[in-house]
Chains A and B, each alone.
Chain A
Amino acid sequence: MHTAPRLIALAARLVPSAARAEWKREWTAEVLHRRASLERRGAFGWTARLDLALRILGALPDALAMRRIATRWDDMEAGLFTARPVRTLGACAVLAVAAAVLTVGFTAIASSGASAPGILAVAAVSIGTGLLLASVEAAAGVLTGVPATPIWTRPASAARRHDRDATLVALLGAAEGLALTLAASRWPPTSGAERILSKGLGSGAFAFHAGVSAALAILLALRLRRAPAG
């Protein structure tokens, strides 16, 4: 049973810092209560010890659940936009600009005929699109707001986390746009298949980024409509 506090402390590292102390307190209290109860009844034999050890192992999935819930976007309720309208709008604007830079850059390069994107640029598009998808998900979280009833986090700290995420999303979008445009201008295609693939992906990227920008604009408009009065 000396390993019990160590296991709980190890699992606690996964719990968001704001909730960690209470989480450890809860698990420790349950383990101590169970052990004391079994010892009082003279029932703390090897079977009971094994059962308790198996229960303590459940601290790990519980810690992961705590982390998942603390960063879960789809359970969040409205609040951040009305609390941080300028910063939220700014994050959306920078993301849209980054997307626009990317699409304009790709379109210009693809239509110039001089140095169309090559296979490495195609790979960069794939990676960059994945980055943009992650950015959009983070931005959507920024747009939908903080939890109305945050679990073991104060509203102030949750709002600061979202401000940080909004800034990160904006920077990520801008960096991705710049990187992909630079990559597209570097390597000419070496085969007909590469030209077809790169032009296809270029068109697809244009449509995707235009769609993302439109979706963000619609989401923002919906948030404005649903913002509570006062």
Chain B
Amino acid sequence: MCARFNLTYPTALVLRALAEGYRHGFDLMDVTGLASGTVYPLLRRLEALGLVAARWEAEDAAHREGRPARRYYQLSAEGAAVLADASRKFTGLDAGLRSPGSARPDPV
């Protein structure tokens, strides 16, 4: 899989954050420290490559909280395999994640 695209550190960081349970775009920005102009294009590319799957959360649950439903992202099996490669390539990947601040991982 790594041969299909250039596995960069920001990509690895996003994959790691997804594995940690952070599933929404703005939350991924919080824990990776990457800008939205980096995170979102990465997510689109990862989704196009099948490494990440995107879904909408349940409407009724969101409306109970008085907000529109958000889109969330999850690692696919292939994405988990790429993350394993990334962990070998980029040591200290966990240290690259920031303390979440307002973001918190969603129940997986």
Contacts and interface: CB of A to CB of B under 8 A. Distances in A.
Given A26-B71, A62-B40, A33 B26 contact: yes
Interface of B is mostly: helix
Interface of A is mostly: helix
Given A55-B26, A65-B44, A149-B50, A33 B70 contact: yes
B44 A151 contact: yes
Interface residues of A, number: 32
Nearest to B34: A58
Contacts of B25: 26, 30
B89 to A, nearest CB: 22
The 3 closest A-B pairs by CB, nearest first: A58-B36, A65-B41, A62-B40
Contacts of B37: 57-58, 60-62
A54 interface: yes
Interface in A25-57: 25-26, 28-30, 32-34, 36-38, 41, 43, 54-57
8 contacts: A25-B68, A25-B71, A29-B70, A32-B67, A36-B66, A41-B102, A59-B40, A72-B48
Interface of B: 24-26, 29, 35-41, 44-45, 47-50, 62, 66-71, 102
Contacts of B50: 149
Contacts, number: 76
Nearest to B70: A29
Given A61-B40, A62-B36, A30 B48 contact: no
A55 B103 CA distance: 15
B26 A151 contact: no
Interface in A80-128: none
